[in-house]
Structure 1
Amino acid sequence: MSGDIVQLVEQASPYLTTALSAYGGAVLTRAEDSALEANANLGRRILQAVWRRRTEPEQAALEAAIQDAAEHAGDPDAAAALRRQIKQALREDAELLRELAALVPAPAAGSVTVTASGERSIAAQHVTTAITGDGYRTDQ
């Protein structure tokens, strides 16, 4: 079951990132917005489902992790702390695991998901050279 949880959280991560980018720390309290893309709404629904199934202290910890991830969008540690909260909830609640598994689309066979988040981020499955920054010259 632990492998299923890790895989599910990895599949949900792009939706969570999109939801945090779109809604920020208010992701738990926002209503679905048809004008926003489906990924942001799915990420919001995932976070709300996890939040609803937690105790008050656990909800406060989840809200803090969401706020931190929203405020530090490019920080992989903040994103990892949020994913850790979600994994813990899924380990403790098999029904929640089934609910989220039904929400998150299964990846197509052989598909690869690559996500970049933050200023000057690069996402690619295969890269030979990638440069971000100002003032790079090819004649150096």
Structure 2
Amino acid sequence: MDAQALSSEIVPFAVTAVSAYGASVLTRLEVAAADGTVALGYRIIQRLLGRRGERGELESAVSELAADPTDEDLQAVLRVRIKAAILADPELARELQGILRDASTSVTATGERSIAANVISGIAVTGDSATIQR
């Protein structure tokens, strides 16, 4: 995925986190009760801020966006800053793609007594009167 496409895919998540937390998204240590989209945006912002060099420009873009998360011009500024960070650091691009890929895992259960899980590491029983022996 090229830098333009990746930055365009990332910005909506970052905007959601900024909308939820404002400028405090820059200093929060954790996201406890956030929904998936907000938590993903928070993780992306924290990963971007974890790199060296252009942190100030990214922080500035996030802080400005926090004043008005619906401002499309401010969203574009953040997108440009994210794109620059991706272009400057190919490893960062791979990590962000991994974060997006991991977040896109979807598990759906359909049908009576079905179980939805990404990973089941134990016994899963959906029937009546089941007896489990080890």
* Normalised TM-score (structure 2): 0.70
- RMSD (Å) for aligned C-alpha atoms: 1.9
Instruction: State which of 85, 93, 100 in structure 2 corresponds to 1:97.
Output: 93
- In the alignment, which residue of structure 2 is the partner of 1:7? 5
Pair 1:81 & 2:81 matched: no
Structure 2 unaligned spans of 5+: 106-134
- Alpha-carbon distance between aligned partners in 1 of 2:8 and 2:57, rounded to the nearest angstrom: 21
**AA aligned opposite 2:51:** R
Pair 1:70 & 2:66 matched: yes
Q: Percent identity?
A: 40
Which portions of structure 1, spanning 4 or more consecutive aligned residues, are displaced by more than 3 angstroms? Answer: 105-108
For the 8 Å contact 1:16–1:47, the answer to whether it is kept is: yes
> Deviations along 1:25-84, whole A, 9 cap, x unmatched?
1112112323111111111111111111132xx222211110101102121111111111
* Normalised TM-score (structure 1): 0.67
Q: Report 1:109-128 matches (<5 A).
A: none
**AA aligned opposite 1:83:** R
Q: Name whichever of 86-95 and 23-32 sits farther off.
A: 23-32
- Alpha-carbon distance between aligned partners in 2 of 1:13 and 1:64, rounded to the nearest angstrom: 15
Structure 1 unaligned spans of 5+: 109-140
**AA aligned opposite 1:79:** Q
